Amino acid sequence: MMAHVSRWVLPVSQPPIQEGAVVVAQDRIQAVGPAKEILESFAGPVYDHGEGAILPGLVNCHTHLEFSALAGRVPPQKRWEDWVEATLAGFALLTQEEMKKGIDQGIQALRECGTILVGEVSNTAASWPHLETSPLAYHLFYECLGFDLWDLRNLEEALPFFTLPAVANAPWVSAGAHAPYSVSPALFRAIRAWNAARRRPQTVHLSETQAEGDFLARGGGFFKDLLQRRGRTVEGFQPPGLSPAAYLAGLDFLGPSTLAVHGVWLEPSDCDLLARTQTWLVICPRANRYTGAGTPPLQELLQAGVPLALGTDSLAGNWDLNLFGDLLWLYEKFPEYSGDLWLRLGTLHGAQALGRQDDFGSLEPGKKAALGYIPLPGAADFWGELFTAGAAGEFCWIR
Ligand SMILES: [Zn+2]
């Protein structure tokens, strides 16, 4: 047993504690509170970390580690459509070796900036063995695509990955849907059925770009063209004439075990729908800027009561995988909200979205001792300073 004390302790599940302490035994938290109270009855070693803050490891709910090798190869774009074309072209040129090396570098970057748990989306499961042997906790979403799969009885029929015994037995693997413009209704239903039978979370990209809404409303535009080029069109396809969120609701794909990602182009009625169904929305605000997608409607989402978590998306579509950069961006862009809201999105909410709140997301007795420290010189702007230091890579793990 040992106690870690510092000027600040940020449990997330309760307000910041000035002069706080966290007692750790083996790999679990035993106690959290004011140092005065905690240390009164504590006889073990005490480590005073100094003037900064002890906080839980971050939860990044949306990455694509396979794209890490594209870091610096796809520049920021003004139009999302240009970004996706550049990313697809770049990915097609990657060798297996480059991809694997990128995955390891991505995992290392996530770890170094203070991430403890990651929601990873993968087309090939290439990142799975790398995550399995890394110090990161993870949930792997095996991403399914197939707009042309209109007659499908179950997931195994289309995707042999789901017939592997290792997949059925792995608790941290789910089926993920790519997006409403790339997944058929039958495939959405098969994904939902596979996950529901195993009580596992699922994910889908939602309303990342305006063209997605256009495609579902009228059946034309960028995605019609993309599907044509990829040979995935369906003869006689009738657009549902619904918003992407309403379309997913009709397929029974929304709910507390769904992590919808992005939500940049959600309308107020979509925000209400996500709130009503308690669907998680994983916002990736810096990635949305990088790819030219836009900015999610934060005020509307918060006002409607949509449960929010955070992700960075991939290194093809972001400057880095450091979630503190997103916390800082949100804090500066929306000064009407307190920084503890953003920290909660990047920790406890992410753990809840991935169903891992018993182990991660806050400093509470019984949870894993996944905590770190950020030094703070003590300026007037506590949260701004904390996020700036985190974004600058000053997070250190407490071991
Ligand atoms: Zn994504």
**Distance from residue 64's CA to the centre of ligand 1 (Å):** 6
Contact 60, 112 (CB under 8 A): no
Write down the pTM of the prediction.
Answer: 0.97
Which contiguous run of DSSP H or E holds residue 281?
Answer: strand 280-283
Upper half-sphere CA count for residue 302 (Cβ side, 13 Å): 12
Q: Do domains 2-56+362-397 and 58-353 have the same CATH topology?
A: no
Task: Please give the torsion angle defined by the CA atoms of residues 334, 256, 360 and 384, in that order, rounded to the nearest 10 degrees.
Answer: 0
**Distance from residue 86's CA to the centre of ligand 1 (Å):** 15
Using CB atoms within 10 Å of the CB of residue 118, give its burial: 0 to 12 exposed, 13 to 18 middle, 19+ buried.
buried
Cross-strand pairs, 34:
20
What's the pLDDT tens digit per position in 139-186? 999 999 999 999 999 999 999 999 999 998 899 999 999 999 999 999
**Distance from residue 399's CA to the centre of ligand 1 (Å):** 32
233 vs 192, more confident: 192
The letter for the amino acid at 30 is: Q
For domain 2-56+362-397, the CATH class is mainly beta
What's the pLDDT tens digit per position in 241-296? 999 999 999 999 999 999 999 999 999 999 999 999 999 999 999 999 999 999 99
- Span 58-353 CATH architecture: Alpha-Beta Barrel (3.20)
Kindly list the domain boundaries of the chain, sorted by start residue: 2-56+362-397, 58-353
**Parallel, antiparallel, or unpaired for β 53-56 and 46-48?**
unpaired
The pLDDT of residue 103: 98
What's the CA gap between 359 and 252, in Å, rounded? 29
DSSP 163: G
**Distance from residue 179's CA to the centre of ligand 1 (Å):** 9
The pLDDT of residue 235: 86
